[in-house]
Amino acid sequence: RRRHTRFKCDWSSDVCSSDLFTLMNLCCGFYAMMMHSMSIQPDKTIDGTIANWALGALLVSFGCDFLDGWFARRKNQATAFGERLDSLADLTSFGTAPMFFALSARREWEVGLLVACALYLVCGAVRLARYDPESQGKIFRGMPIPIAGLMLASFTVATRNSAVAWFDPTKIGRA
């Protein structure tokens, strides 16, 4: 008679405690996209309170991104798995979510906006794929995707329902 063995996961070698911050980063990015999609009203305006919750989720995600790296270095738990997981979480929270904010802030989608958002996402993914913390040492070239993502999301939320040249060039100079 054969006994069934349960699947055993060796948490000590696969997932470190610092990776829990990375997973929180990922969940906050998803929550931000969900909240921002709920903020869009039937008349295509954006409910500011809900949109602010979405931006707050991105700020929490940013904090978790900082803490996962700090905790991994402090506890000497930096792993290749953790680095890959961090890149995936960063692409979700600071690549996809801000791009989603920018797309949903516009009342009608235009080809230029779609191309710009796709280009932002592709550049963020390539940046994360090329960045190797060990080979660069203390020198950091380029803008990290968390900073770029927070800038894009903050700009989008701050300019909701207003006539800003980036969103509607036909309203420049009008009150």
More confident residue, 153 or 61: 61
pLDDT digits (tens, 9 = 90+) for 103-151: 877 766 678 888 888 999 999 998 888 876 555 666 666 778 888 888 8
pLDDT digits (tens, 9 = 90+) for 3-55: 544 434 455 555 677 889 999 999 999 999 998 888 877 776 677 788 888 88
Give me the DSSP letters along the chain.
-PPPPPP---HHHH--HHHHHHHHHHHHHHHHHHHHHHHB-TTS-B-HHHHHHHHHHHHHHHHHHHHHHHHHHHTT---HHHHHHHHHHHHIIIIIHHHHHHHHHSSS--HHHHHHHHHHHHHHHHHHHH--HHHHTT---S--HHHHHHHHHHHHHHTTTS--TTT-GGGTT--
**Does the structure show a pLDDT above 80 at 83?**
yes
Residue 121 pLDDT: 92
* pTM (predicted TM-score): 0.76
